[in-house]
Amino acid sequence: MRDASAAKRTGSGGAAGFAEVSRARLGKAQSPEMLEYVWTPYADIDDENVHAIILCNMAHTVMLCEQKIISRQEAATILGALRRLEKSAGNFPFDPAKGDLFFNVEAYVIEHAGPDMGGKMHIGRSRIDLIAALMRLKVRKNLTRLLPLILRLQAVILSRARDTIDAVMPAYTHMQPAQVTTFGHYLLAFHDALARDLRRLMNAFKSTNESPLGAAAASGTSWPLDRARVADLLGFSAVVENTKDAAHNYDWLPEVLSCAGILMSNVARVATDLYIWCSYEFGLVELDGAFAASSSIMPQKKNPYSLEMIKARTGEVTSSFAAAIEILKGDTGGTAFDIKLTGPRIADNAINRTADMLSLMTPLVQTLMVHRERMAERAGDGFTTAVALADTLVQHGHSFRTAHHIVGRLVNIASERKLGYRDVDSKLLDEAARDITGAPVKLDDRAIRTALDPDGFVRSRHGHGGPAPRQVKRMLSKREKESAKRGRTVNEALARIARAERSLSSAVDKLTGSKTRAQG
């Protein structure tokens, strides 16, 4: 357990910050257990969080100065201390005796700028709205990593789909051969699912990228804060207007997590297909050796560990939504303290795991070996083209239900006699028809072979969105244009954040001038 005297290990003095706040109200210091199990986890100390709270404090201080709530000299002194802390990245002197990150930063500013300056930095603000902002900034940062990875995976999928437009293969339902498709058409379906995932995540990004700052504890403040200015300096696209909503509502977090969960379920579904298809029994695809592993004892093995990892991580990600919503629904205290304690870790794990698996899936798909001959060989097995023969019978005057019964009987007879689709002729079809209707259908062998041919089956599926090569080419051209447009949207969102950070840095430089360099 962390020693309660940990404050002595820092150069800031342990009596400042939350220790004094608590002592004044409660008459005693925080227990060692509170420091170890509440304030240390709640602080969520990492470089990103420290950087984010510095930026929030800088933006708030710049705004206080612009609103003439504090003087230019006071702002310069506060900002100088924050710049000094910024330059010590990775060596933040965290002391749990001072409380969480909020009070530790305040203590640092007090040490380097004086007690008055440390207090003035928080004019018109609460820890509640600040921590809410930190959570949004951290999730936003993780999303900025995830969004481009979806675009990258989509680009690889489109490229592989174009290469495999004519790779005829069986399509499965209930794990049974169903109809015939192409691998390119299959991959295009994956791309389209990812496009919806990206759209959902962009909406979640928009919900996340709104500023709660200036809401204080719930009811705002009498100080003339410019909430929009702070939001702009931090790259937020809007302000959460209602102060109660801004301070206490975290519904944006499960929105992000649900999107990540749906995304991973789509990725895992494809990973599961590939997992099955690369087995010896199927042999339709094969992983590049760089994405497989050998056995510790069986030298012949080529184990698909990469696909197993993707499937395993999916459960980890999808469960995060349930965890977050369960925590949030129990928050009736008006501080959302429960979700602040655990939410950052849940979100970090879920979004970063998702990003990791997309980073794995992209080169895996790019290097995947497609066994075209094996696919073509299996394409017609299991009478996957039976519906085409039924359609042919409909064209010769039968109702579809009667045609369905005749072809079903045909498949039954062929299965009993160990015959495949290539063995079907007019004699066999007439036998099946007599069993159902009492009369032959009198369809010649050539018409039967045409109907049951897997390549012909695919070419005939040229309706809107079908697997026929010309349809897939049309869809690919359309998706490539749409993908370029989505890429610009994502890049613009990321560029806005980068511009905001440069704008904030410029505003700080303008206020501090040479003072920043002297204190640094």
Considering the domain architecture, whether residues 46 and 77 belong to the same structural domain is answered as yes
> How high is the pLDDT of residue 73?
96
124 within some domain: yes
Closest to 380 in 3D by CA, of 294, 304, 465, 452: 452
Inform me whether the pLDDT recorded for 451 exceeds 50.
Answer: yes
> How high is the pLDDT of residue 339?
79
Considering the domain architecture, whether residues 357 and 238 belong to the same structural domain is answered as yes
Q: Confidence class of residue 169 from pLDDT cuts 50, 70 and 90?
A: very high
Per-residue H/E/C for 350-385:
HHHHHHHHHHHHHHHHHHCEECHHHHHHHHCCCCCC
Considering the domain architecture, whether residues 66 and 195 belong to the same structural domain is answered as no
Inform me whether the pLDDT recorded for 130 exceeds 50.
Answer: yes
Domain count, the chain: 3
Question: What's the CATH number where 310 sits?
Answer: 1.20.200.10
26 within some domain: yes
Considering the domain architecture, whether residues 77 and 101 belong to the same structural domain is answered as yes
Considering the chain, what percentage of its residues have pLDDT values greater than 70? 91
Please state the pTM of the whole predicted model. 0.88
Considering the domain architecture, whether residues 239 and 312 belong to the same structural domain is answered as yes
Q: Confidence class of residue 34 from pLDDT cuts 50, 70 and 90?
A: confident
Considering the domain architecture, whether residues 323 and 233 belong to the same structural domain is answered as yes
What is the domain range of residue 417? 386-452
CB–CB of 45/136 below 8 Å? no
The mean pLDDT value of the chain amounts to 90
Considering the domain architecture, whether residues 77 and 48 belong to the same structural domain is answered as yes
Beta-carbon contacts of residue 247 (< 8 Å; ≥ 6 apart): 126, 128, 129, 132, 212, 215, 216, 217, 218, 336
Beta-carbon contacts of residue 292 (< 8 Å; ≥ 6 apart): 302, 303, 304, 305, 306
Inform me whether the pLDDT recorded for 517 exceeds 50.
Answer: no
Considering the domain architecture, whether residues 292 and 372 belong to the same structural domain is answered as yes
Least confident of 164-178, 207-221, 338-352: 338-352
Tell me if residue 511 falls in helix, strand or coil.
helix
d(CA 129, CA 206): 18
462 within some domain: no
171 within some domain: no
169 within some domain: no
Considering the domain architecture, whether residues 105 and 240 belong to the same structural domain is answered as no
20 within some domain: yes
Considering the domain architecture, whether residues 344 and 216 belong to the same structural domain is answered as yes
153 within some domain: no
Transcribe 157-206 into DSSP letters: HHHHHHHTTT-EEEEEETTEEEEEEEHHHHHHHHHHHHHHHHHHHHHHHH
175 within some domain: no
Considering the chain, what percentage of its residues have pLDDT values greater than 90? 76
Considering the domain architecture, whether residues 283 and 232 belong to the same structural domain is answered as yes
Question: What's the CATH number where 425 sits?
Answer: 1.10.40
CB–CB of 52/497 below 8 Å? no
Question: What's the CATH number where 105 sits?
Answer: 1.10.275.10
pLDDT tens for each residue of 36-77: 777 666 666 678 888 999 999 999 999 999 999 999 999 999
Q: Confidence class of residue 377 from pLDDT cuts 50, 70 and 90?
A: very high
> How high is the pLDDT of residue 327?
86
Considering the domain architecture, whether residues 203 and 349 belong to the same structural domain is answered as yes
